[in-house]
């Protein structure tokens, strides 16, 4: 992702400078085998330093892009790949944009013509020339037009590529496309300066040198990575607790798109590219090994096809495209692009055929609660989940909550209200989250108290989590991941469930909701308890606490035994004590 430059002031001289760490793997491919790139910005003014740092950072990025290309070239034991050719072209473009302050380089893209008195001048873009070369069906004509640029690009990448190689023609096409884009942005910047300058002043240089200020850019010239960073920063201010999840879900989508097509300006993301992205996603390997996962996106797809690996589901592809479309829709709403190029890119997902209902039957619930999982005979050999093994499934069965909502509970989230115990499902702690963003309270079923839930609460730290043995996962920060994997395996074995026929953990929620419907409990009360939302979210506002408690009390009792390893007294004695 693109990162805004952050100049640092030298404590002795007060002059600002900028640094860029070079990854160890790339250092042999940077001149001097340095550990970092650093440059003085020759100014003590912070605003001017930021302006100068922007162009210097672009130069650093070009150097690193070239180093990556050289590394890929050296490591490759076969011919160059299209992915490498694309990276060479991107590195060339980065350098070309940095050199636009040179009048000779600028003249490649914008023509400046003077009137007879050599005072008035007007400009025209060379974009049509490169566009004609790009649209030509004659590869030889294209290669002739782009020969100078192709030679520069290959020299920058320090590779050789024969002109009769099919990849050479593709390189020329990529370079012509970049030239058209540079022509458009250069000409647009000139027009902007002409329109904005005071009439009495001459036209300033189009692109200042690297030590000057950057030329103003139009909003639609934002690249995808920069726009996504803006959205993520905005999300962090609007919804600080949910921003991490929001960013994690979309960051991988943006990264894949950039790996496939480069970090394009928003106005260069077209519907054909979105369709090609969809088609690539359909060929993306499902759970690839580490070797394949480290490859660039297109090479992952090629490897998956070569080895006949299983691919991600169409439902997952549809979800990824929906996330990308959401980002582009925001760009459209902000008037950065004329329309959303991802709109209308369809993925037909076949309807899932189930050989059974998604919930547990009453017989399965009875079998499950009579198993060693709840009598203490089944315990993990390695992991330590404490009493969460017992209480999490029981709470799921009697509350209809989602597994993460239960696993993330703190002791303070369980309290008495109007003489009745209630669980607050909320996100008071930074590590907690609620899927719908709306907190709710769920009265406890009387059977939970008979099973010794109050005794369990008394053993918990007043300020700590309800299940301290459950720790957030490194990838998503979810408490339910490890316990969920273990429980799914055990429940599937106990009930002899077919693979893919049912989601064992979520089935508790389905079972709870099914029984509420069968009991004729009002839909708004159901939603208030389970956290489902109606069209206007009114479900969570209807129903008094008394009505919610009465609805919970109607739910069936399951044959759950008192968990024997209570740690204080024998389970049979504890059960009798609770009953009394």
> Rounded to an integer, what distance in angstroms lies between the CA atom of residue 328 and that of residue 228?
10
The pTM (predicted TM-score) of the whole model is 0.51
CA 87 to CA 68: how far, in whole Å? 8
> What are residue 311's phi and psi, to 5 degrees?
-110, 165
- Distance CA(257)–CA(250), nearest Å, equals 11
- The predicted pLDDT at position 158 comes to 77
- How many whole angstroms separate alpha carbon 353 and alpha carbon 363? 23
Give the distance from CA 212 to its chain's centroid.
35
What pLDDT sits at residue 117? 45
Reported CATH class of domain 362-579? mainly alpha
Give residue 78's pLDDT. 44
Contact, 201 vs 176, CB < 8 A?
no
**How far, in Å, CA of 519 to CA of 142, rounded?**
73
Strand partners, 124: 111
Per the CB < 8 A criterion, the answer to whether 350 and 314 are in contact is: yes
Please report, in tens digits, the pLDDT of each residue of the chain (580 residues total). Answer: 344 567 888 888 888 888 888 887 778 878 766 778 888 888 888 878 877 877 787 778 778 877 777 776 665 544 678 888 888 888 888 888 877 777 778 788 887 665 544 445 566 777 777 776 666 557 777 888 788 889 888 888 877 888 888 888 889 889 888 888 888 887 777 776 666 554 444 443 444 333 333 333 344 458 898 899 889 888 888 777 667 778 888 888 998 898 888 888 888 898 888 998 998 898 889 888 888 888 888 888 888 888 888 888 888 999 999 999 999 999 888 888 888 999 888 888 877 666 677 899 999 999 999 999 998 888 887 778 889 999 999 999 999 999 999 999 999 999 998 888 999 988 776 667 676 557 889 999 999 999 999 999 999 998 889 999 998 877 667 888 899 999 999 999 999 988 777 888 999 999 999 999 999 999 889 988 988 765 444 434 456 788 888 999 999 999 999 876 544 344 444 444 444 3
State phi, psi for 17 to the nearest 5 degrees. -145, 165
- Measure CA 334 to chain center: 21
Task: Work out the widest C-alpha separation in the chain, in whole angstroms.
Answer: 108
**Rounded CA gap, 441 and 417, in Å?**
10
- Give me the DSSP letters along 456-473: HHHTS-TTSBSSTT----
Q: Contact 551/521 with Cβ under 8 angstroms?
A: yes
CB 261, CB 303: distance < 8 Å: no
Residue 516 φ/ψ, nearest 5 degrees: -65, -40
Distance CA 532, CA 330 (A): 27
Q: How far apart are CA 270 and CA 264, in angstroms?
A: 10
pLDDT at residue 498, rounded to an integer: 84
| Assigned token pair, 231 | 């959205």
β pairing state of 8-9 and 16-21 = antiparallel
Q: How far apart are CA 5 and CA 9, in angstroms?
A: 13
CATH 1.10.443.10 boundaries in the chain:
362-579
* Helix, strand, coil percentages in the chain from 3-state DSSP, rounded to 5: 55, 5, 40
Q: Convert 278-312 into a string of H (helix), E (strand) and C (coil).
A: HHHHHCCECCCCHHHHCCCHHHHHHHHHHHCCCEC
Cα 127 to Cα 84, 170, 176, 221: the distances in Å are 26, 19, 9, 16
């Amino acid at each position: 992702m693109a990162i805004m430059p952050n100049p640092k002031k030298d404590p002795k001289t007060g002059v600002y400078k900028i640094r860029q760490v070079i990854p160890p793997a790339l250092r042999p491919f940077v001149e001097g085998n340095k550990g970092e790139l650093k440059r003085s910005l020759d100014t003590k003014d912070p605003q001017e330093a930021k302006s100068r740092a922007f162009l210097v950072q672009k130069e650093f990025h070009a150097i690193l892009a070239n180093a990556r290309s050289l590394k890929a070239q050296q490591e490759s034991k076969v011919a160059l790949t299209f992915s490498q050719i694309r990276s060479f072209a991107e590195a060339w473009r980065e350098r070309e944009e940095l050199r636009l302050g040179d009048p000779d380089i600028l003249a490649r893209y914008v023509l400046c013509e003077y009137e007879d008195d050599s005072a008035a001048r007007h400009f025209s873009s060379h974009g049509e020339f490169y566009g004609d070369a790009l649209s030509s069906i004659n590869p030889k004509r294209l290669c002739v037009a782009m020969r100078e640029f192709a030679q520069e690009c290959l020299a920058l990448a320090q590779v050789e590529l024969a002109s009769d190689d099919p990849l050479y023609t593709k390189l020329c096409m990529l370079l012509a496309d970049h030239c058209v884009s540079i022509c458009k942005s250069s000409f647009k910047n000139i027009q902007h300066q002409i329109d904005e300058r005071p009439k009495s002043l001459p036209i300033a240089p189009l692109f200042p040198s690297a030590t000057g200020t950057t030329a103003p850019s139009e909003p639609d010239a934002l690249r995808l990575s920069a726009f996504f960073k803006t959205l993520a920063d905005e999300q962090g201010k609007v919804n600080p607790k949910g921003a991490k999840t929001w960013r994690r879900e979309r960051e991988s989508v943006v990264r894949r798109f950039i790996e496939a097509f480069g970090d394009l300006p928003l106005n260069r993301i077209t519907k054909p590219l979105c369709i090609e992205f969809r088609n690539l996603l359909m060929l993306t390997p499902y759970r690839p090994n580490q070797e394949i996962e480290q490859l660039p996106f297109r090479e992952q797809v090629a490897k998956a096809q070569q080895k006949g690996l299983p691919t991600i589901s169409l439902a997952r592809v549809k979800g990824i495209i929906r996330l990308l479309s959401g980002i582009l829709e925001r760009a459209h709403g902000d008037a950065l692009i004329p329309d959303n190029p991802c709109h209308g890119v369809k993925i037909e997902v076949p309807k899932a055929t189930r050989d059974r209902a998604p919930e547990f039957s009453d017989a399965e619930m009875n079998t499950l609660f009579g198993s060693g999982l709840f009598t203490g005979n089944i315990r993990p050999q390695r992991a330590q989940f404490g009493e969460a093994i017992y209480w999490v499934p029981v709470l799921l069965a009697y509350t209809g909550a989602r597994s993460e909502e239960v696993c993330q509970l703190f002791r303070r989230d369980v309290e008495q209200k109007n003489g009745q115990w209630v669980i607050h499902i909320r996100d008071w702690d930074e590590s907690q989250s609620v899927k719908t963003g709306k907190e709710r309270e769920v009265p406890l079923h009387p059977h939970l108290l008979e099973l010794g839930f109050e005794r369990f609460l008394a053993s918990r730290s007043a300020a700590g989590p309800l299940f301290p043995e459950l720790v957030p996962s490194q990838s998503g920060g979810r408490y339910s991941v490890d316990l969920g994997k273990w429980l799914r395996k055990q429940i599937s074995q106990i009930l002899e469930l077919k693979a893919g026929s049912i989601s064992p953990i979520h089935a508790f929620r389905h079972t709870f909701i099914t029984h509420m419907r069968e009991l004729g409990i009002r839909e708004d009360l159901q939603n208030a308890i389970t956290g489902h939302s109606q069209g206007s979210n009114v479900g969570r506002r209807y129903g008094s606490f008394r009505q919610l408690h009465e609805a919970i009390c109607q739910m069936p009792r399951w044959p759950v035994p008192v968990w024997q390893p209570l740690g204080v007294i024998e389970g049979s004695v504890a059960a009798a004590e609770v009953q009394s």
